[in-house]
Amino acid sequence: MITYAAGAMLPRLKRMWRTCFEDTEQGADLVFSRLLTPGQMLVWADNSGRPVGMVNWKLLRFTTPRTSFVGAYVFGVATLPEYRGRGISRGLMSELHTVLSDSGAALACLVPASPSLFEFYARQGFESFFSRKQISVEESLVPVPSGKGVLAPARLPRLEALRGEAFGDSALFGAWDSPWLDYTDRECRLQGGETLRFTCRGKTGYCVCRPEQGGTLLVREAAIDKEDLAALVCALHDRYNARRYELRFPKDFPAGELPCDILPFGMVKWYDEEKRRLVMGGMGGAPWFAFGLD
């Protein structure tokens, strides 16, 4: 049986989240206190009414250089291990498509947690759409910049306008609102990372950093001038002295001489064909979506 989540289900759903995503108690508490709401959570219940699968979503504004519209970010698709292989996730996704289409959402977007899931979601009607350029720099290859950059702690929600200015010319941009940016900021700090304001040559940008295993520093998003990439990497190395730096940018961001890869990131299912044609045939830079629960 598929139903909306009820308040009494939340403790069991939180345990399901921790089991399926191997999250900490603190991490699950943050998700359930800051992101999840019963009205945007579909649950698959067993014959006793206990939830054994779930899917969550959040509405957000997507922008193009000419217009904006509402879409949904889908996340937290989970089935308890002992119930897998019974079509529960497929059933939940099918029901969710109906809910979102009927609500007027133009599209649904999600970030597969592993490469194998791209094929699974393709069978649910999603197509690969958002990519990222991942620039990788070993500590021995940190470039010498032509200008000096300065990093200072910041809060991501306060950079919402700067973020919109940096990525607003994208062919399609997932423009998160302040509550989601606040969650991202808190999640980052919980994992030992931080949001940093970056100043170089009189221009202001930012980066959102998170330490990874093996001495890698992941920059989940950076809004900087293309001429200041070397200065950012150098400033990060001064601050973190990491073994390796991985920086995520839109597909068309110039990497210069630094090693990079183009990697698939987000998938989209369109409900509004007119909006789809507008985006596919429109102008703008590479599509950009970040801060999914990847």
Residue 12: Cβ-neighbour burial (10 angstroms; 0-12, 13-18, 19+)? middle
Structure token digits, residue 19: 């089991």
Return the DSSP state at 285.
B
What's the pLDDT at 65?
94
Query: Is this prediction's pTM over 0.85?
Result: yes
* Nearest by Cα to 176 from 293, 61, 56, 292: 61
Residue with tokens 């206990």, as numbered in its chain: 50
pLDDT tens by residue, the chain, 294 residues: 999 999 899 999 999 999 999 999 999 999 999 999 999 999 999 999 999 999 999 999 999 999 999 999 999 999 999 999 999 999 999 999 999 999 999 999 999 988 899 999 999 999 999 999 999 999 999 988 877 899 999 999 999 999 999 999 999 999 999 999 999 999 999 999 999 999 999 999 999 999 999 999 999 999 999 999 999 999 999 999 999 999 999 999 999 989 999 999 999 999 999 999 999 987 899 999 999 876
pLDDT score of 147: 76
Per-residue pLDDT, 281 = 87
| Per-position DSSP letters for 59-118, written without gaps between them | EEEEE-SS-EEEEEEEEEEEE-GGGTTSSHHHHHHHHHHHHHHHHT-SEEEE--SSTHHH
Distance CA 265, CA 172 (A): 14
The dihedrals phi and psi of 255, each to the nearest 5 degrees, come to: -90, -10
Separation between Cα atoms, residue 134 and residue 221, nearest integer Å: 10
27, burial (CB in 10 Å: exposed 0-12, middle 13-18, buried 19+)? middle
Position 293 scores a pLDDT of 76
Distances (CA, A) of 195 to 30, 191, 239, 271: 18, 12, 13, 34
pLDDT in the model for residue 75:
97
Task: List domains and CATH numbers for the chain.
Answer: 2-105 (3.40.630.30), 132-262 (3.40.630.30)
Q: What pLDDT does residue 42 have?
A: 98
Q: Please, which contacts does 119-126 make with residues 24 or more away whose CB atoms are closer than 8 Å?
A: 120/89, 121/267, 122/267, 123/90, 124/90, 124/93, 124/94, 124/97, 124/269, 125/97, 125/269, 126/267, 126/268, 126/269
What's the residue count for the chain?
294
Q: Given this model, what pLDDT does residue 194 score?
A: 98
Residue 257 tokens read as 């001489």
Q: Are 248 and 221 in contact (CB under 8 A)?
A: yes
Query: Which residues on neighbouring strands pair with residue 107, listed in sequence order?
Result: 270
Helix runs in the chain, H state only: 10-21, 25-34, 88-103, 116-122, 160-167, 178-190, 229-240, 273-280
